[in-house]
Amino acid sequence: MERRIYGIETEFGLTHSAPQGRGLGADETARRLFAPVLAWGRASNVFLPNGGRLYLDVGSHPEYATAEAATLRDVVAQDVAGERIVDGLREQLQETFDAEGVGGTVHLFKNNVDSAGNSFGSHENYMIARRTEFSRLVQHLLPFLVTRQILVGAGRVHPTGPPAFGAFTPGDGAASYSFSQRADHIWEGSSSATTRSRPMINTRDEPHADAEHYRRLHVITGDSSMSQTTTALKIGTTDVLLRMIEAGQILPDRTLADPASALRQVSHDLTGTAVLELANGGQRSALDLQHEYLEAVTRFVQRHGSHHEHMDWLLELWERGLRAVEQQDFTLVDRELDWAIKKKLLDSYAAAHGMDYSHPRMVQLDLAYHDTSPSHGLFHMLERRGAVDAFITPEEAQHAREHAPATRASIRGRFVAATHDAGVNSTVDWVHLKLNGEHRQRMVMCKDPFATTQPDAEAMIEEVLAGRA
């Protein structure tokens, strides 16, 4: 596919901490957090004028799904916008608590694990052609997803060593650092489940588009990214690999004997050299497989050309990330890749205070890296100091908070804004726009995710703006 729709769904961690353990529970904190959303949209599950979806997920997790984006810059901007929108709710709640004398601090985390061993997700969505053989795509994609964490993992401290395979119990070995937060909570390669077995690829066929032509690939094994450049690399490398598979490129069979076990092996080995067993009896390391993918993609781009302006940047960072792991020189990527940025910060603190990863303070700093607060979050502290690279401009991020990308989301966003401003009762989902009148109902279906206008939708928006709805 020359054009593709991308989207990211992010579940946030939420907690209220107060002296003597008097903080509110997760359910109550989440309920209070979403009070402004309920007042605005009369529900805790709403679509916003920027085309994105904001809702309260199972387990009292705030979740934001980006609007449909058709460019790498737009999907990164939408992801950043989502973080800032949800953090805005946190700021409002903190102000409310301060005014009420509740005390304590409300924390919002863009990460994937909590102290009780629970995991919450970051899901990537890629529109693919219906004609693509899905089983072949999954076969080639799984080894890539297992090993790409050496580039785009969020990093995680294990104060007593990584947990045993198949258990959430703390480890009993030496303190360590791993590439990924999510890897210890994934149980199989692909299935239709999302919580019970947690596969890497969710196979439910929900295209949110014309099902005759499109399918949605739902990847749920990745970590949430604080770094814009990590997000761009994560989406960009997966996209170009999909493009190569869709084009019918012949790739060697690198099916893993046990993808879930391999996922953990890769996460816990910062050298990238752990031996992974292949289903055909062969063996490869994470570095071996990623070098194979990079070389194949590079040749493909040389033959067929770049399909966006960031391809040279993408391939250069991909290669440099692999070289950083291969040479164990993490300074090569400690401005761009989350796991390396965080490790540099933690290692610097540990050296200054004479401690290692077993110290409780290191776990606190690990979590604080993902705090979305502009003033308290450690990643945002590094942003202010100019210690990390950006992929988009501040103006692009701010624009994405208020405006949808140039896709179907722009129709939805204008409809949401118009009906809300006019006080008109409406219902919205990814594909449908519906006016709920006393005597009649009108609904339109927007099946083309690339369309920025649609006559019947425009007519309905005009009707609302003119006060005739």
Closest among 39, 30, 16 to 102, alpha carbons compared = 16
Write 163-167 long-range contacts (CB < 8 A, 24+): 163/117, 165/261, 165/264
Q: How far is CA 101 from CA 87, 96, 98, in A?
A: 21, 9, 5
Q: Which amino acid is at 213?
A: H
Helical ranges in 280-407 per DSSP H: 286-304, 311-327, 338-353, 360-368, 378-384, 394-402
Q: Is 20:28 a contact under the CB 8 Å cutoff?
A: no
| CA gap 331, 319 in Å, rounded | 14
Q: Which of 27, 57, 347, 371 is catalytic?
A: 57
Please give the helix or strand (H or E) that residue 77 lies within, else none: helix 72-100
Q: Which amino acid is at 46?
A: V
Give the dihedral sign, CA 334/273/266/66.
positive
Percent helix, strand, coil in the chain, to 5, is 45, 15, 40
Q: Is-catalytic flag, 456? A: no
List, in order, residues 6 or more apart from 22 with CB less than 8 Å away.
103, 104
| CA gap 300, 249 in Å, rounded | 8
Give the dihedral sign, CA 323/325/330/334.
positive
List, in order, residues 6 or more apart from 292 with CB less than 8 Å away.
252, 254, 284
Helical ranges in 131-285 per DSSP H: 134-147, 149-152, 228-246, 259-267
Q: Is 430:211 a contact under the CB 8 Å cutoff?
A: no
| CA gap 423, 426 in Å, rounded | 9
| CA gap 202, 222 in Å, rounded | 12
Dihedral (Cα; 282, 285, 291, 294), 10-degree rounding? 80
| CA gap 177, 155 in Å, rounded | 7
Query: DSSP string of 167-187?
Result: --SPP-S--EEES-SSGGG--
Residues serving a catalytic function are 57
